[in-house]
Structure 1
Amino acid sequence: MEDIKQIIERLGFETSLELNEIPKVDLYMDQVIQLFENKFTESKRNDEEKVLTKTMINNYAKGKLIFPIKNKKYSKEHLILISLIYQLKGALSINDIKVTLDEINKKIINEEIDLESFYTSYLNLTSQNVVDFKKDIDARVKDVKEEITTNQEESSSYLEQVLMISSLVHMSNLYRRVAEKLVDGIGTEKEEKRQK
């Protein structure tokens, strides 16, 4: 099995769009795309994959995942939201992302949120998540090796890889399902408020 630590290092999990990397001036769509392509190029599975496209941004705007754009320019707040969407879309549907970010968008419009402070908290948590993930992945590798050694008559690199892939996907599904239930809770809370 390929060394998991090497894979993790190549994937650039520590890569995030930091606040100091977001220009203070509003950007046109092409500039936004370039910023994200440059920042998240390591996270792409292959060279053909796009981090962000005009179609994606237009769909985010049409789907009201981000508050309305003014003069075809994207503010710092838009870039923060697009960064959040970029991370969320790996596990949640567009509708779930809309539900998740709807209240934040309203708070931005009404100037009721310190979005930079919120985003800093998000970045702090993602940084800690990477540390925790690296520890957890070491434990998973150990568990898979033990399973192969203990329960398999024939030990092979291929079977070890299949078990590792299956274990990682299962963990991913567990986390995604909990996240979806939390999104459902946001939707339920909104419905209860409307009925009052």
Structure 2
Amino acid sequence: MEQIQAMIEKLGLENQITLEEIPQIDLYMDQVIQLFENKFGSSKRNEEEKVLTKTMINNYAKGKLFFPIKNKKYSKEHLILISLIYQLKGVLSINDIKETLFKINEKMSMNQFNLDGFYESYLHVANKNVENFRLDVVEKSKDVKKEIDLLEDAEKGDLQKILMIASLVNMSNLYRRAAEKLVDEISITQKRKEK
């Protein structure tokens, strides 16, 4: 149980870029990368992993995942969208992210959306998700231990970890599939409006 708590603490689950941390001035790409590296660097799986690169940002721009930049500078709104993309890309494809953010980008292009308010709501939901995750992982750990205790095997420690991994991956897949279904619904709605 203590191992699970220690593992959860190392995940850096609370790492989110808050509105207060986003500069009020537009940033160049290198500054954007540095901001993300400073914020999310501690939650990387290993040193080789990159939080954000120029190629990633350029691909997001080419894929129209966010509205066009001006004068090679990224506004506060771009940083919010890049932060959302950073969170979404762990589960969704680039096309799914584009579909998900399409309406927001469309409204931003017409200056008809309070992105700050939306992002603040996202941060509140994300914080609640972290709390729920902590409780859920502890409960799953107890369930896994009960199942492993029923086995007659000398290497229960490794088997317990393997079963825990399988359980977490299963839950992740369930959540991913639900998210993809919602993306599909957004996509269908968009296509109907285009007709």
1:141-180 alignment, distance < 5 Å: 141-150=141-150, 152-154=151-153, 156-180=156-180
Q: Give the RMSD, CA atoms, in angstroms.
A: 1.1
Match for residue 20 of structure 2? 20
Q: Helix, strand or coil for the counterpart of 2:91?
A: coil
- Cα offset, 1:194, TM superposition: 2.0
The TM-score normalised by the length of structure 2 is 0.97
Q: Where does residue 84 of structure 2 map in the other structure? A: 84
How many residues are aligned here? 194
CA-CA distance at 1:174 after TM superposition: 0.1
CA distance in 2 between partners of 1:32 and 1:10 (Å): 25
State the TM-score, normalized to the length of structure 1: 0.97
Partner residue of 1:95? Answer: 95
**2:100 counterpart letter in structure 1:** T
SS at match of 1:3: helix
Q: 1:133-144, aligned counterparts within 5 Å?
A: 133-144=133-144
Using the alignment, how far apart are the partners of 1:74 and 1:43 within structure 2?
Answer: 24
Answer yes or no: is 1:113 the counterpart of 2:104: no
Displacement over 6 Å in runs of 4+: none
Q: Which amino acid aligns with 2:23?
A: P
1:76 alignment partner AA: K
Shift of 1:133: 0.3
Q: Which shifted more, 29-38 or 155-164?
A: 155-164
Letter in 1 for 2:153: E
Bigger mean CA offset, 39-48 vs 88-97:
39-48
Aligned partner of 1:186 in structure 2 is 186
Asked if 1:45 corresponds to 2:45, the answer is: yes
What letter is aligned with 1:35? L
Mapped to 1, the partners of 2:168 and 2:190 lie a distance apart of: 33
In structure 2, give the amino acid aligned to 1:100: T
Provide the rounded CA distance (Å) in 2 between the counterparts of 1:93 and 1:81: 16
- Rounded to whole Å, the distance in 2 between the matches of 1:100 and 1:168 is 25
Q: Distance in 2 between matches of 1:49 and 1:81?
A: 21
Paired residues for 1:48-87 under 5 Å: 48-87=48-87
Would the alpha carbon gap of residues 83 and 89 (structure 1) be closer, same or farther in structure 2, given more than 3 Å must change?
A: same
In percent, how many aligned pairs have the same letter? 64
Equivalent-residue separation in structure 2 for 1:88 and 1:102 (angstroms): 14
Distance 2:160 2:2 in 1: 10
Residue ranges of structure 1 left out of the alignment (5+ in a row)? none
CA distance in 2, matches of 1:144, 1:179: 26
Counterpart CA distance in 2 for 1:122 and 1:192 is 27
Q: CA deviation at 1:42?
A: 1.7
